[in-house]
Structure 1
Amino acid sequence: MKGRWIGFVLVLLGASFWGVGGTVSQRLFQEDGVNVEWLVSVRLLISGIMMILLAILSKNRNKVFGIWTDKGAAVNLVIFGIFGMLAVQYTYMASINLGNAAVSTLLQYQAPAFIIIYFILSKKSNVTKKDVLTVLLALLGTFFLLTNGSINNLSVPSASVVWGVLSGIALAFYTLYAGPLLKKWGSLNVIGWAMIIGGTGLAIFNPPWKVTITNWNMGTLFFLIFVILFGTMFAFWFYLESLKYLKPQETSLLGSMEPLTAVLTSVLWLKIPFGAYQMAGGLIILLMVIYLSLAKENDSAVKKEMIEKAG
């Protein structure tokens, strides 16, 4: 029982750090003029190095560099690092930069619906009532979230919506593609290397040492440290550690704290307006996530892939 409580605390902290990290990133982008590419590159590189160090200290330390001796795994890891890890992080942050963390986080949580659509289109799963309901909930929630009840006005700029939808698609790919790598090589190892690969790929075009700090102050540094350590490294680590004590379905369900904390901190701290229809849309999206999390294991062919964030 004590172990389960540890798991609950870890997943709630991890998910909350993710949500608050998005809001803090919005503050850095829109008030301190921090560059999106620079922040994504730096947070991935630093967090990735720290996770690899943790992996070296774990019982699976022999796999840390062993993954690079397996040609197939190495290729898959590079693909995952660029099109999974980097794609998720960059699209999400770009959406926040142009809009706000609350809407961007909820748009990213459309990933389960995209996974279902992928399985249906690829004919890997028959269409079930649950699949139809899930997609309808996603569409209805998104409509309310983005229009706030009026189709004539978007609640955030259209560019933010595009990046947010791309973030959901990237998260769907991230979730589906990572499975075999995580199972064979370990979560800390795979996630750590993927962060380093993604951060390095972006750093080639946006070197971390080329940064303008004219508008920075002590608050900027504090928020940067929070986003890099708590909003990235500790968030991933705590979420992964919680899987030792809880079932994946439970961690996925409790992971819904991420959009909830993103909305609450955006509204209460940054004073972002969030109308009644947007609240309704956000709740519908959360209901979709909870609905999938509570699905029985033998309900459909896609249940194992549903909303596990793989870290």
Structure 2
Amino acid sequence: MPQVTDHGGGVRSIEVPIPDNPLGNTLVYVVDTDRGPVLIDTGWDDPASWDALTEGLTACGTAVAEIHGVVITHHHPDHHGLSAKVREASDAWVAMHAADIAIVRRTRETRPGRWFTYMADKLTAAGAPEEHVAPLRTARSRLPGLTPALPDREIVPGELLDLAGRRLRAVWTPGHTPGHVCLHLEERHPAQLPGNGRLFSGDHLLPRITPHIGLYEDPDDDSEPDPLGDYLDSLERIGSLEPAEVLPAHLHAFTDAPSRVRELLDHHEERLTGLLTLLSTPLTVWQVARRMEWNRPWADIPYGSRNIAVSEAEAHLRRLVKLGRAEQVPGSDPVTYTVV
């Protein structure tokens, strides 16, 4: 049986496994409402994950057929993956922020070959060696998350969601994705903990680990967003809410959100400062990624995770450029960055 935790006040969580992922699982929250249970996220689209979700709902005293609605914090497959199956089994509505709905629509409509070509070109421009890029040039299978359910409701930041008998307000927190939302349950904490209700934080605010902050991938968009800047601004907004408890999508619930926000702000400032030291010599994005500190040596990082690391390195470099602390070296190909 999957691990089910009762958080009190009509809120429970189910640990839904993520296949072949060190995170282990996604915490799917079941929120009681006057019209039936509502899920916050659903977990990865995998048979074992589906079994864990349905068995967990049974342990919660309900069933997938009774689900009234699904609120998705962001479009990643470990959160949105099972939405289609839940909707098919229950006729539940599925809600997401408009920016991430646009991503879901685009990924459903874009041919897999277009994505692989785009990724290969991005890595080449980042200075990745040909032996790393080559597998993408011949890849044919679809990537996970390219055929997710298209949501039928839009989450509007600042507004209460239509949950009968509950006060759940959407807080837009871009950074991890363009449309990531946290969900503020504006109700007294069931254990009377001091603070302002509870916060379903998705991947925005996690204990012990930092969420991936990479580039917002879009083959048809040449703009240069600043996801790290978005994330840092979003952290400040969440810290000011001062919730009594944070219910994240991974690991475990925790208190003292302002302290965790400060730790994350300090972490990214230290990382940016460390990059400036590296950039005393011009480096490509790939070279920066290889030199950055990760949770394991570069040689031990799997292929797909290296691509994620390169994206995160470029997001940090883009932030330094926007702050005027670094710049691209004119005429370099692939582009190199240096300290100003």
**Structure exhibiting the larger radius of gyration computed from Cα positions:** 2
Structure-1-length-normalised TM-score: 0.29
Structure-2-length-normalised TM-score: 0.27
The structure showing larger relative contact order (alpha-carbon pairs under 8 Å, at least 6 residues apart) is 1
